[in-house]
Amino acid sequence: MGIIYRCLIIDDESPAHRALASHISKFDFLEHTASAFSGRQALQMLNEFEYDVIFLDINMPVISGVDLMELQPNRPLTIVTTAYSDYALTAFKHQAIDYLLKPISLEDFTRAVEKLRVYYAGYELSKEKPAESKILTFKISGDNHSFALDTIICIESFGHYLKLHVEDNKTPVVIYGTLLNLLSEIEDPDFIRVHRSFIINTKKIKSYKQNLVVLNNEKTVPVGRKYKILLDGNN
């Protein structure tokens, strides 16, 4: 038997689950592993279990599909399934591999999961190459400066700029950019967004109590209500 891809369906409507489960059952390389009926439930499941692809609805209460993509930029491959065409640009901005409009035909579904297979075929080939330490390089005052990812303690947003709090640096390194774009570039599960203004390296947490995190450099970072579930899943 070949590779089987584990699927998580995320939708607040039961008929959508049944329709997607029916499509999934027609492919021997797909497995309907689990179902989530809210964005909050999905975030918990994504932190506790591993999936290869999620089928994600956009219009859900409290935590929408767009919110989930922002909260989990390093989530499994995402195929958006929705009745709304308005969010296609947003979905692809958040690296969705396809955008399917309900009711989803088997033809459209087949096209989407073939993209999934092509992606993972390339991914398996890339794993054969030796792993290298992640290095981030930024242009600061006209010069390139590089930082090992595991030396970054946290990243703080202010205006159109970011402050990198780095080990062995007494003062933060200031770069131009946004938290969302940098988090997508980092692609490391140890780095999570805990507030609209902060990304932290969870390996640098000294203590976590209520809605505050204290990091190894003694910096105290607030934890936003909608991000708390991500941090709880990493502790």
Where do the structural domains in the chain lie, given as residue ranges?
5-127, 135-232
> What superfamily would CATH give domain 135-232?
LytTr DNA-binding domain (2.40.50.1020)
Q: What φ, ψ does residue 19 adopt, rounded to 5°?
A: -65, -45
Tell me the H-state helices in 128-158. none
Residue-wise pLDDT for 114-173, tens only, equals 989 888 876 554 444 445 568 888 888 778 889 999 999 999 999 889 999 999 888 899
- Determine the pLDDT at residue 121: 78
Contact 4, 51 (CB under 8 A): no
Per DSSP, the three-state class of 50 is coil
What is the rounded distance in angstroms from the CA atom of residue 30 to the CA atom of residue 109?
12
pLDDT of residue 235: 62
The CATH H-level (homologous superfamily) assignment of domain 5-127 is: Response regulator (3.40.50.2300)
What separation in angstroms does the CA of 14 have from each of 43, 46, 49, 218? 19, 20, 22, 47
Res 124: pLDDT: 52
Q: Within its chain, how far is the Cα of 29 from the centroid? A: 24
**Quick check: pTM over 0.85?**
no
